Amino acid sequence: MVHRALKHFTIHLQTFLISSQLRNNIPITGAFSISSTSNNLKNTVIKNTNNNIMLTRRTPQQVQLEIKDPVDPTALTQAKAILNELRTDSSTQQNACVPEALLTIAHRLGDIPKEGNGSTSYIVSPSQCHVAFDSLTDDERKSLMNIHTRVKFFAEAQRKSVVDMEVDIPGGKAGQSVSPCRAAGCYAPGGRYPLPSSVIMTVVTARAAGCPYVVLATPRPAPITLAAAHVAGADIVLCVGGAQAIGSMAYGVNAMLDEKGDEVIPAVPPCDVIVGPGNKWVTAAKSIVNGYCGIDMLAGPSEVLVIADKTADAVIVAADLIAQAEHDVVARAILVSDSEEIIDAVDKEVTSQVESLPEPNRSTAKEALKQSFSILCKDIDECIAMSDKLAPEHLEIQTANSQEVADRCANYGGLFIGTNCAEVLGDYGAGPNHTLPTGGTGRYTGGLSVFNFLRIRTWMRIDDTKECQEMVEDSVRMARLEGLEGHARAAEARRL
């Protein structure tokens, strides 16, 4: 899941626009463009609406992927203003955030209530997180610990897959060293739903990478979120969100002192890497601080694409599509099949199942389904080609030969093979991370992992000057071919 959170507030990194926008009077400016080769497209959409078809029917030719700017211009301007307000001298990025400024912004934007318990602090202590964990039922604590164990096991296996190494080079040695960043910043949204699973996915992964200090930021944290912070091992919890959270983690926050000079609220160190999805202000702020510190991705609304053939179970496929749609009104649920019968059956199930959801889930899912669609392909080969073109965040394979089909798919964030492998199992900690690339970016990147927190650095050493002479001569010659005389002379200085 892009971390399922994207699911709640984020903007489009690459937006999907389909003809269902026509029926909802939404301007066609997004990233799934409609081919002009279909003269009867609008009539087709109207006909489908009249027939109460939940998933707009499309052909492969009617869907094209386009790229959109991931950062909302208005949010970018607002995020810049917040980041400037956080620091006394915004002309230099060396200044840490002023605690009083952070508290003022948190009060103004509703992260922290102006009155009542906790109104004078933007930090939740480890002891408070422990109390939240103890307040859970036995079953809730067990599930939280189980998820933690599985995510930790997978992340630690990832960490072991890359190691220090060295090889011989002429006259010496060269190698790589793998080490974690000093401090990691993890963001977990706190909007429509609490997301303890996102806390575990980010914080546990940073810990498995070996980061000695982990900061978690999440606005208005629910008890289950604080309990997850305790289990995952966050060193400090900032109960702020939006651009102010990203700025606090990027630049750090000075300690707040009382009139006597005693520390009231501890300092927050600047983080080397910030990960986790959020709303459009989080995305905008991450784009601003990127370079000053590292970020994982600029993520957009969540998506699922299901490849299903005639053997698929329509009840299960529909349930998986709805599970994705309930995340956010801008989520996308896509069905790709070579069987018109299964498309009809799934559509019927979606229409029936969505009405049984409680509110606000039902309204959210129904709005998202207006922008979702099905694609009828001529065969499984075309289904795979369509999926690779869209590079969905989540890709489910529900076919007779699911592993064979999965092996042929190239572009996706996370892959879920077979009817029994529900995407929601990945959301809740089967092991692999649920913070995944959205909007087609799975064509060139993967999801959050320990590698986001690791530095793989190379080194070389020359022990025998005589043995490296051929390498010296090669360097002299190539430097002069490139017109870099200073380089050539530096190499010549190593001649015997």
Catalytic sites, residue numbers: 393-394
Handedness of CA 188, 217, 113, 130 (dihedral sign): positive
Residue 36 near residue 357, CB atoms below 8 Å: no
Tokens 């189980």 — which residue? 146
Q: Label the pairing between strands 256-257 and 263-265.
A: antiparallel
DSSP type of residue 262: -
Tokens 């409680």 — which residue? 358
Round to whole Å and give the CA distance between 309 and 311. 5
Q: Label the pairing between strands 256-257 and 236-238.
A: unpaired
Region of 56 please: left (phi>0), alpha (psi -120 to 50) or beta.
beta
Residue partners of 350: CB distance under 8 A and separation at least 6:
54, 55, 318, 321, 322, 369
Give me the phi and psi of 312, to 5 degrees please: -65, 155
**Helices vs strands, H then E, count in the chain:** 19, 19
Residue 328 near residue 297, CB atoms below 8 Å: no
186: part of which helix (H) or strand (E)? strand 183-187
Round to whole Å and give the CA distance between 245 and 252. 10
From first CA to last CA, the distance across the chain in angstroms is 59
User: How many residues are there in the chain?
Assistant: 496
Give me the phi and psi of 179, to 5 degrees please: -145, 150
Residue 480 near residue 492, CB atoms below 8 Å: no
Tokens 């650095």 — which residue? 457
Round to whole Å and give the CA distance between 33 and 457. 42
In the chain, the amino acid numbered 255 is: A
Round to whole Å and give the CA distance between 174 and 178. 14
